[in-house]
Structure 1
Amino acid sequence: MAKRSGLEDPAYAAFAWARYRRILGWMGVVAILFIAGAIGVLDRLYGPLGWVAILAVIGGAGGSIMLTAALMGLVFLSSGSGHDESIDDLE
């Protein structure tokens, strides 16, 4: 039988999910700063950018940063809440 994990406790679950949202919020700020910097550098190198190029930078760089942050945040959430230790290894 699997051990109980931390997310089954409502108080700890609220704390863990708040921490996850805080990580995503900070990574959103990092993504915005990186996107602004990337658009600035590209504008300086290539001249004024079209809206398609700006959307490509936002989608490519911002999407990659936020997807990575979301997945790594879930790894930290899983490990920190005891989900990883609650799995029975039958080997």
Structure 2
Amino acid sequence: MVGKSPLDDPEKAAFAWARYRRLMRFMFGVTVGVVAIALALLYKYNGAVSVHFYIAVALGVGFSMLLTSALMGLVFLSNGTGHDETVDNRMPRADED
């Protein structure tokens, strides 16, 4: 039997999603900073390379960081609201068949 999720309550869900959006805004700022530092270091040590190299690095680092933070944020959202505890994933016993 699946229990009622705390995210079914609109007030708790609004609080949880607001916290998730705040985390994502923070991580977007961190990502922009890391991309800028990475590009500056690459320019310092490699000089003027093709602009496509810098675009690829910026997109690769940025996308990887944002995707990772989005997925980890969803894990924190699920665990922090108690949604994980409502899932019943016990295996049926052999003698109940």
The unaligned stretches of length 5 or more in structure 1 are none
Superposition deviation, residue 81 in structure 1? 1.5
User: Which position in structure 2 is the counterpart of 1:87?
Assistant: 87
4+ long deviations beyond 2 Å: 48-51
**Aligned residue number for residue 3 of structure 1:** 3
Once the two structures are superposed, what CA deviation does each residue of 1:43-88 show, in whole Å capped at 9, x if it has no partner? 0111124331221122111111001000000000111122210111
- After TM superposition, the score normalised by the length of structure 1 is 0.92
Amino acid across the alignment from 1:20: Y
Residue identity (%): 47
Letter in 1 for 2:78: S
After TM superposition, give the deviation of residue 35 of structure 1 in Å: 0.5
- TM-score normalized by the length of structure 2: 0.87
Aligned-pair distance for 1:89?
A: 2.6
Residue aligning to 2:66:
66
Q: How many residues align?
A: 91
Question: Radius of gyration: which is bigger?
Answer: 2
Q: C-alpha root-mean-square deviation of aligned residues, in Å?
A: 1.1
Deviation string 1:5-26 (CA, Å, 9 cap, x unpaired) is 1110001101101111111111
Shifted more, 81-90 versus 47-56: the winner is 47-56
Gaps spanning 5+ residues in structure 2: where? 92-97
